[in-house]
Amino acid sequence: MDSLIDLEPVQRNILIASILGDGEITKIYKNSRRKNNSYREHYGIQQLEYRKWKEGYMNGLFYLTSKSSTLRSKSSPLFTELYPLFYSTDGKKQIPAKLLEHCTLPHFLAILYMDDGSLCITPRINPHKKRIYLTPHIYLYLQNYHLEDLHILNTHISTTFNITLKIGKKKGWLWLYIEDNIR
């Protein structure tokens, strides 16, 4: 497996969303013996079953190291190929617009949500009508990305999945969210 195209569509969706979310492609440092980059994501013990689920889909590309609570890969030309697409020259994460065309399966959204998402419910009480209004919000906390990147991702999700997201900002954090009112 030397290329993203060699992966099955589900694997491509999971891998791209994982890198956008909790995962990272490791750097190759000067004087390192490694020739290629690798993948790594740390997790808490509560997330072990989820990481096992990811590992199971990736057909040997990922493996778990329980001592360090890490889902990782071996060094691979695949991650060396992907590194400049996901990271700017100064090492900051970016959303690779040209790879989003591969992200058309629900697995992509599921991984984004399970890695960096949250469901929040805001109650509002109207004492005059004796009603409680609940407003659910699904947040994707993607604060590592520039606003331009979030617009690219937002457009992709809107056109591909027909889901309308808003981009919010609070205390320097940017996130995408879905808002709906339930009465």
- pLDDT, residue 175, reads 67
Instruction: For residues 43-57, give the mean pLDDT.
Output: 93
Average pLDDT over residues 5-26: 95
Q: Which CATH class is domain 4-179?
A: alpha beta
Q: Say whether pTM exceeds 0.85.
A: yes
For the chain, the C-alpha Rg in angstroms (whole number) is 18
Question: What is the bridge-based pairing of β-strands 166-170 and 24-25?
Answer: unpaired
Instruction: Summarize pLDDT for 100-141 with one digit per residue, the tens.
Output: 999 999 999 999 999 988 888 889 999 999 999 998 888 888
Question: Cα–Cα distance between 72 and 41 in angstroms, integer?
Answer: 6
Give the pLDDT band (50/70/90) at residue 181: very low
Q: pLDDT tens, 60-103?
A: 999 999 889 999 999 999 999 999 999 999 989 999 999 999 99
Helices (H), the chain: 9-20, 48-57, 77-86, 106-116, 147-161
DSSP secondary structure code for residue 181 in this structure: -
Per-residue model confidence (pLDDT) at position 32:
82
DSSP state of 124: E
How far is it, in rounded angstroms, from Cα 37 to Cα 39? 7
**CB–CB of 130/39 below 8 Å?**
no
> Distance between CA 81 and CA 3 in Å, rounded?
7
